[in-house]
Structure 1
Amino acid sequence: MSVVPRVRLSGGLEVCRVLNGLWQVSGAHGTVDPVKAVEAMDVYVRSGLTSFDMADIYGPAEEIYGNYYSQFKSRYGEIPPVQGLTKWVPRPGPMDRKVVEKAIKRSLSRMQVDSLDCLQFHYWDYSDKRYLEALGHLSDMQQEGIIRELSLTNFDTQHLEEIVDKGIRISSNQVQYSLIDQRPAARMEEFCLKHNIKLLTYGTLGGGLLSERYLNHAEPKGRAELYTASLSKYKNMVDSWGGWDLFQELLAVLSSVAKRHGCSIPNVATRYILDKPAVGGVIVGCRLGVQGAEHIQDTLQSFKVELSPQDLSDIEGVLKRSRDLMSLIGDCGAEYRG
């Protein structure tokens, strides 16, 4: 097993600085063989990448994790060395204790665990203040030992501050953060540093766009070329950020930096975000059980890269010519709230 750098969340849970994202088993990236998916999980674990990010809405993700967890215990007679970070993504509605308990019990059952390592709460509508009621119950369940770390997903700085001011301890906030989306640096980062809240970032590789594959590549268009939900989503982000021509300039610079370090463009893109002061970890999507979709060794290479002042200057020379997404879209998660 490789030695993978880890970060400690405020409740004591240690997770890898690169987490395995299971959004890609949700169905929007093709069908998943659950047996092969469990086998693939073991490959990641044996490589040292033991932290898995999932959600109640990610198709069979929680069940796949639970099957791996159960099979490991049966085979070896001990708790598997994995960390399961899941999400509860309810639609606005009643948020009494029974509603909250039902959702958490469902995740516990699917994941086949007695307590949740980390529960990340997402809410769609800030005008419905019942999210504060839900978080109050989740905080109580944390005190009862049912949840170890209480975290958020896609909350903006204003509402993160509101929650913290209510006395609710938040361990992390999962947000989009990449070379083409620097919004967390505008307000979120400073607040998180002040309150010992880690950022867990997704979209850091732009669904695969931030890679050699798209260097000197004609602008992809239509479903045939943007054939996964991730590619379509992050191509829209590239369009907002500055367009395909500027993106090609960025890829060219990243390629030059990567060659200086003997690594890949994804390594440079990952390292750039890992070095941000409030970032605890980067989530890299994994299509469990899909042949050829695993990039474990390349992912591990990210930990060996040290970006120099010249590297940063070259990269940021392109970034400063992009559009201000904070002004264009709004703070973290605003794109999900219309």
Structure 2
Amino acid sequence: MVQVPKVRLSEGLEICRILNGMWQVSGAHGPVDTPKAVNAMDVYMNAGLTTFDMADIYGPAEDIFGAFSSQLKTRKGEAALNGIQGLTKWVPRPGPMNRNVVEKAIQRSLKRMRVKSLDCLQFHWWDYSDRRYLEALGHLSDLQQEGVIRELSLTNFDTKRLEEITGKGIRISSNQVQYSLIDRRPMVKMAQFCDSQGIQLLTYGTLGGGLISEKYLGAAEPRGQGELKTASLSKYKNMINMWGGWGLFQELLGSLDSVARSQHCTIVNVATKYILDMPAVGGVIVGSRLGVPGAEHIQENLKSFEVNLSANDISKIESVLSRSKDLMQVIGDCGDEYRN
């Protein structure tokens, strides 16, 4: 097993700095073969990538993790489960958030994942005007104290709400946010606050659903569902449109390619390492097409850790970024794209 760099969350859980994202098994990226997906998780684990990120709303993701953890326990014993980390999310619709509602949701994830406690529960809330998110977090904090949840975290909360929540004495380990060369909003306010509080940022969209890669260097602008075949591609193409458009994006890819060639790596490696090196970033979530032959890219992803970006490399990249639109002004703070 490769020694993958890790980061320790505030309650002691160690996670890999590259996490295996499981949104791709939600059904929005094509059909999922569950047995093949379970077997593929073994390949990631054996490569040293032992941290899996999922959610209650990612289709069968929690069930797939549960089948994998059950097989691992059968093969290697219960102690082997300490070698993998399962981070999930609770994404409720706004509504009553009494103890029974919260506990029922957590018990469902425990059952699906076939674990006795959750390594990390990342909480998302759709509507800030409904302040019952504070009630929900209070109950989640109680469940954490009771040992049902190890790390209590957030997903797509903005800086203002993060300050509010921590100000009420609720300990938050991480906040999962979109963060990439295209979307650098976290560096405006979020990163500084998280750094001051020991909160890690776990980033997604760092590779733009695959758009930030050699595959799209010099490519004609993709349009419509015929060319943007997954939910990720559609989502992040929209971000590129808001950020500055396909022409500027091609300039960015050209800059990244120049740096990658000098580093003997790929555009993916440069884009990943740029974000990994940012303040408060604990890890980058890379989407895993579990069970899809040839879609792993495990060795390429591991190579990101070997990249050392020089001041000249960063200057070359940021000379392009400086000509893009300010997404903080266009969209708002982290997560606002889900609430506007």
Shorter-chain TM band: over 0.9
Alignment of 1:18-167 (within 5 A): 18-78=18-78, 79-80=80-81, 81-167=83-169
The 2-side partners of 1:60 and 1:131 are apart by 25
**Partner in structure 2 of residue 307 of structure 1:** 309
The answer as to 2:182 corresponding to 1:180 is yes
**Partner in structure 2 of residue 284 of structure 1:** 286
**Aligned residue identity for 1:86:** T
The 2-side partners of 1:179 and 1:306 are apart by 16
The 1-side partners of 2:212 and 2:77 are apart by 41
What SS does structure 2 have at the residue aligned with 1:94?
Answer: coil
**Partner in structure 2 of residue 249 of structure 1:** 251
What SS does structure 1 have at the residue aligned with 2:157?
Answer: coil
Contiguous gaps of at least 5 residues in structure 2: none
The 1-side partners of 2:294 and 2:336 are apart by 34
The answer as to 2:37 corresponding to 1:2 is no
The 1-side partners of 2:210 and 2:34 are apart by 23
What SS does structure 1 have at the residue aligned with 2:119?
Answer: strand
The 2-side partners of 1:196 and 1:77 are apart by 34
**Partner in structure 1 of residue 15 of structure 2:** 15
**Aligned residue identity for 1:222:** G
The answer as to 2:273 corresponding to 1:262 is no
Alpha-carbon offset, residue 315 of structure 1: 0.3
**Partner in structure 2 of residue 202 of structure 1:** 204
The 2-side partners of 1:196 and 1:75 are apart by 37
Alpha-carbon offset, residue 194 of structure 1: 0.6
The 1-side partners of 2:297 and 2:167 are apart by 41
Deviations 1:191-221 (A, max 9, x none): 0011000000000000000000000000000
The 2-side partners of 1:266 and 1:91 are apart by 35
**Aligned residue identity for 2:34:** P
Deviations 1:86-116 (A, max 9, x none): 0000000000000000000000000000000
**Partner in structure 1 of residue 233 of structure 2:** 231
Alpha-carbon offset, residue 43 of structure 1: 0.1
Deviations 1:212-257 (A, max 9, x none): 0000000000111000000000000000000000000000000000
Alpha-carbon offset, residue 260 of structure 1: 0.4
**Aligned residue identity for 2:200:** K
Give TM-score, length-normalised by structure 1.
Answer: 1.00
Deviations 1:112-156 (A, max 9, x none): 000000000000000000000000000000000000000000000
Alpha-carbon offset, residue 293 of structure 1: 1.0
Deviations 1:265-304 (A, max 9, x none): 0000000000001100000000100111110000000000
The 2-side partners of 1:295 and 1:39 are apart by 16
RMSD: 0.5
What SS does structure 1 have at the residue aligned with 2:151?
Answer: strand
**Aligned residue identity for 1:66:** G
Structure 1's consecutive aligned runs of 4 or more residues displaced over 3 angstroms after TM superposition are none
Alpha-carbon offset, residue 176 of structure 1: 0.1
**Aligned residue identity for 2:5:** P
What SS does structure 2 have at the residue aligned with 1:87?
Answer: strand
**Aligned residue identity for 1:46:** N
What SS does structure 2 have at the residue aligned with 1:38?
Answer: helix
The 1-side partners of 2:157 and 2:29 are apart by 25
The 1-side partners of 2:230 and 2:77 are apart by 39
Aligned length: 338
Alpha-carbon offset, residue 75 of structure 1: 1.2
**Aligned residue identity for 1:74:** T
What SS does structure 2 have at the residue aligned with 1:300?
Answer: helix
The 2-side partners of 1:154 and 1:308 are apart by 31
What SS does structure 1 have at the residue aligned with 2:282?
Answer: strand
The 2-side partners of 1:303 and 1:319 are apart by 23
